[in-house]
């Protein structure tokens, strides 16, 4: 059983329009409503791959109720959200059919009280110490009221339970949590540069490892993933750009990395899976989903280059 943590979960709404034009009225041709937030998207992809997964974090208000109900209908997903008095946020993606581009609007999320945060920590401790928990992913932004060092605390708790942990966040929460020595961090190029001050991927990933990350996997957009690990360094590239909605592509990459970690796959295989899932998500209609035919085709054609560390 894998565990994903989404402290700032969301209900994702995708509006499709023929063309997005500022300062005009638009007729929406399709509306898609899905459970969302980075860790929720990761969980849905893991479940689609056949893994049992538990989702936790905060959920509250009418939006939180819908989020719980939608996730409860997902096969192989167990819902373990802690309650919060405020309403779970919504995100709105406006997909432009003419250009293929997507405009994203993200609400800030509910304010979490100290008592609600303490109650969540009890829930999290029980989940990471539960027999059968194989890996945990800590994903996304922090809602208002949650301490900036929250992820550092959650990484330490997972390590104390001897459960490998992957961290996907940014800014000061990432900076503090790296010092807690997560097994994997997965920043994008901008987040990695903000953390380290370096824009060159090899130098930046080396610096991030010096700061405490056991392994660093950097998202490089159309250039795929670059990983620096104790076992070596590799870059995985998709065979060609994929047109579509990039929302959730990074979350699918996290699902690929987390499942590969739990299964003990070699790093090149983990990276190939992550890149193929990410690209297949771009081709799918909504975050947390992927086109299986596209995924299986890409998995055989992802180019992974690099070398293992010297013995």
Backbone angles phi, psi at 149, to 5 degrees: -90, 20
Backbone angles phi, psi at 58, to 5 degrees: -120, 145
In angstroms and rounded to an integer, the radius of gyration of the C-alpha atoms of the chain is 19
Inter-residue contact 275 to 299 (CB < 8 Å): no
Q: Collect all residues with Cβ–Cβ distance below 8 Å to 49 and sequence separation of at least 6.
A: 255, 259
Q: Compute the half-sphere exposure of residue 49: CA atoms within 13 Å on the CB side of its CA.
A: 30
For residues 194 and 188, give the distance between their C-alpha atoms in angstroms, rounded to a whole number. Answer: 10
Which of these, 125, 155, 126, lies nearest to 139 by C-alpha position? 155
Inter-residue contact 228 to 216 (CB < 8 Å): yes
**H or E stretch including 106?**
strand 102-106
12 is catalytic: no
Selected catalytic residue, list 12, 168, 183, 251 = 251
Inter-residue contact 93 to 101 (CB < 8 Å): no
Q: Indicate the burial class of 73 (C-beta count within 10 angstroms; 0-12, 13-18, 19 or more).
A: exposed
Cα-Cα end-to-end distance for the chain: 33
For residues 290 and 277, give the distance between their C-alpha atoms in angstroms, rounded to a whole number. Answer: 7
The pair of structure tokens assigned to 207 is 């610096």
Which residues are known to be catalytic?
Answer: 251
């Amino acid at each position: 059983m894998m565990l994903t943590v989404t402290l700032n979960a969301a209900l994702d709404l995708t509006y499709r329009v023929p063309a997005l034009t500022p300062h005009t009225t638009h007729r929406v041709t399709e509306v898609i409503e899905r459970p969302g937030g980075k860790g929720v998207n990761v969980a849905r992809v893991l479940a689609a791959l056949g893994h049992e997964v538990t989702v936790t974090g905060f959920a509250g208000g009418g939006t939180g109720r819908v989020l719980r109900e939608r996730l409860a209908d997902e096969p192989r997903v167990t819902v373990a959200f802690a309650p919060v008095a405020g309403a779970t946020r919504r995100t709105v993606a406006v997909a432009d059919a003419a250009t293929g581009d997507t405009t994203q609007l993200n609400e800030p999320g509910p304010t979490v009280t100290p008592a609600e945060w303490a109650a969540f920590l009890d829930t999290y401790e029980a989940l990471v110490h539960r027999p059968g928990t194989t890996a945990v992913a800590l994903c996304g932004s922090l809602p208002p009221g949650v301490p900036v060092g929250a992820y550092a605390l959650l990484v330490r708790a997972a390590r104390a339970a001897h459960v490998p942990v992957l961290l996907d966040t940014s800014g000061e929460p990432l900076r503090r949590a790296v010092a807690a020595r997560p097994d994997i961090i997965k920043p994008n190029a901008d987040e990695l540069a903000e953390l380290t001050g370096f824009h060159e991927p090899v130098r930046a990933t080396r610096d991030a490892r010096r700061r405490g990350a056991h392994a660093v996997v950097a998202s490089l957009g159309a250039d795929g993933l670059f990983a620096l690990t104790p076992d070596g360094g590799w870059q995985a590239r998709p065979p060609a750009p994929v047109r579509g909605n990039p929302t959730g592509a990074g979350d699918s990459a996290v699902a690929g990395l987390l499942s590969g970690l739990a299964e003990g796959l070699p790093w090149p295989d983990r990276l190939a899976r992550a890149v193929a899932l990410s690209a297949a998500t771009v081709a799918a209609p909504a975050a947390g989903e992927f086109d299986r035919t596209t995924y299986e085709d890409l998995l055989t054609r992802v180019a992974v280059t690099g070398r293992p560390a010297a013995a």
